[in-house]
Amino acid sequence: MAAGAIEIRGLVKTYAGGRHGPEKHALKGIDLDIPQGSVFGLLGPNGAGKSTLINILAGLVVKTAGRVTIWGFDQDRNPRQSRASIGVMPQELNLDPFFTPREALEVQAGLYGVPRGQRRSDEILALVGLEDKAGAYARTLSGGMRRRLLLAKALVHHPHILVLDEPTAGVDIELRAMLWENVRRLNRAGMTIILTTHYLEEAEEMCDEIAIINEGAVVARDSTARLLDRLDGRRMILTPEAPGTTLPQGSGIEAGQWADGTIEISYRARETPAETVLEAVRAAGIRIRDLRIEQADLQDVFLDLTRSKAG
Ligand SMILES: Nc1ncnc2c1ncn2[C@@H]1O[C@H](COP(=O)(O)OP(=O)(O)OP(=O)(O)O)[C@@H](O)[C@H]1O
């Protein structure tokens, strides 16, 4: 089926200002399609509007204008079906301290109208590694265990789409590994995953496609590979056999020398092949002892796109 998991058209969210404050235009008319079966990353600096967008998808924040379709269900016309199609693991550890994990899952399943015969609380607790704690009060769980429980809660109604809001912010390595293993497994089983993260390496590693949001607008949306391709800036870092005084020159080449004699040459791969750069190095009489080439990563793409228009 070619239909998208999520279709967003002209989505606007304006928060009312305080008594004297101005209105806050958190989302300024977003169009976004998220394909079924993808691991989709939402990236953006603080205050870009990611949480607002996710909370609208989850039905927790009411949009000001626009259309949101979740798994083919229009959020306004079919609110129940659209809500049933999506599970959200929130950022905050908001759990009832007096429920055990098993009870919390049963309550959540009840809220979503999952019939008793179709509930798989113990299976889900095992999936997130909480089977030993199924009967412990939530207040006795560590921060990491609470996060596992939040993930479990997001899964009780077997949603087609799982949204993870900053799932690894401040978590330890073991929990992070557990989360990513689960995300990969759920995705392989057909679940569409949407995640927000501040960790660009994480997005680079996990996401097939990425939308970058800045100041309430989508400034880029592409496959991770193509986003990385977009910046073709390269840095050739070379150690000369002997400290040279002449630097390589040529069109499209910018060279400088570090205090320790290392030479750094910047060029754009699409316009200037590495061979041309090497010819310029030889022409300057430099013999190469060692060489490495660094290329742009998502951090560079991100900075380039979110660098304020004013900057
Ligand atoms: N309830 C609210 N009332 C007024 N303004 C709000 C409200 N919630 C968010 N905002 C504002 O809307 C803008 C977008 O906020 P949002 O939390 O969606 O950003 P974000 O990208 O999720 O940031 P972060 O990564 O810090 O969570 C911000 O300027 C924020 O101050």
In this predicted structure, the answer to whether residue 308 has a pLDDT above a threshold of 70 is no
Identify the CA nearest to 284 among candidates 227, 238, 230: 238
Q: Strand 209-214 to strand 39-43: parallel, antiparallel, or no bridges (unpaired)?
A: parallel
**% residues pLDDT > 70 (the chain):** 96
Q: How far is the CA of 30 from the centre of ligand 1 (A)?
A: 15
Q: Which of 52, 56, 194 gets mutated to test ligand 1 (max ligand atoms within 8 A of its CB)? A: 52
41-93, pLDDT tens digit by residue?
999 888 889 999 999 999 989 999 999 999 999 999 999 999 999 999 988 87
In this predicted structure, the answer to whether residue 32 has a pLDDT above a threshold of 90 is yes
Q: Which helix (H) or strand (E) holds 158?
A: none
CATH for 232-295, options being 3.40.50, 3.30.70, 2.40.480, 2.60.40: 3.30.70
Q: Which of 15, 30, 92, 218 gets mutated to test ligand 1 (max ligand atoms within 8 A of its CB)? A: 15
Return the sign of the alpha-carbon dihedral for residues 140, 141, 142, 147. Answer: negative
C-beta neighbour count of 224 within 10 angstroms = 20
Kindly give the interhelix angle for 173-188 and 143-155, rounded to the nearest 10 degrees: 10
Q: How far is the CA of 17 from the centre of ligand 1 (A)?
A: 13
3-state SS class at 304: helix
C-beta neighbour count of 154 within 10 angstroms = 20
What spatial distance separates the first Cα and last Cα of the chain, rounded to whole Å? Answer: 43
Please report, for the chain, the start and end positions of each structural domain, with discontinuous segments joined by +.
4-228, 232-295
* Domain 4-228: CATH class, spelled out: alpha beta
Q: How far is the CA of 215 from the centre of ligand 1 (A)?
A: 10
| pLDDT in the model for residue 171 | 82
Q: Do the beta carbons of residue 249 and residue 277 sit within 8 Å?
A: no
Q: How far is the CA of 303 from the centre of ligand 1 (A)?
A: 20
Ligand 1 atom closest to Cα of residue 53 = 18
* Cα–Cα distance list, 116 to 96, 106, 110, 121 (Å): 21, 9, 8, 10
3-state SS class at 137: coil
The strands making up 263-268's β-sheet, listed across from edge to edge, are 254-257, 263-268, 233-240, 288-295
| pLDDT in the model for residue 2 | 47
Beta bridge partners of 257: 263
Residue by residue, what is the 3-state secondary structure of 32-73? Answer: EEEECCCEEEEECCCCCCHHHHHHHHCCCCCCCEEEEEECCE
- Binned at pLDDT 50, 70 and 90, residue 38 comes out as very high
In this predicted structure, the answer to whether residue 301 has a pLDDT above a threshold of 90 is no
In this predicted structure, the answer to whether residue 14 has a pLDDT above a threshold of 80 is yes
**% residues pLDDT > 90 (the chain):** 62
141-152, pLDDT tens digit by residue?
888 889 999 999
3-state SS class at 308: coil
| pLDDT in the model for residue 310 | 42
What are the pocket residues of ligand 1 if the criterion is a CB atom closer than 6 Å to any ligand atom? 15, 24, 26, 44, 46-52
- Binned at pLDDT 50, 70 and 90, residue 1 comes out as very low
Residue nearest to atom 3 of ligand 1 (CA): 15
In whole angstroms, give the CA distance from residue 265 to residue 171: 39
- What 55-58 contacts at long range (C-beta under 8 Å, 24+ apart), as own/partner pairs, is 56/11, 56/13, 56/27, 57/6, 57/86, 57/88, 57/163, 57/194, 58/83, 58/86, 58/88, 58/90, 58/163
Q: How far is the CA of 50 from the centre of ligand 1 (A)?
A: 8
Which runs of consecutive H residues, i.e. helices, occur in the chain?
Answer: 50-57, 79-84, 101-111, 121-127, 143-155, 173-188, 200-206, 224-230, 274-283, 298-306
Q: Do domains 4-228 and 232-295 have the same CATH topology?
A: no
* Cα–Cα distance list, 45 to 23, 51, 212, 229 (Å): 20, 11, 9, 21
- Supply the mean pLDDT for the chain: 89
Residue nearest to atom 7 of ligand 1 (CA): 15
84-139, pLDDT tens digit by residue?
999 999 888 778 888 999 999 999 999 999 998 888 999 999 999 999 999 988 88
171-201, pLDDT tens digit by residue?
888 888 888 999 999 999 999 999 998 777 7
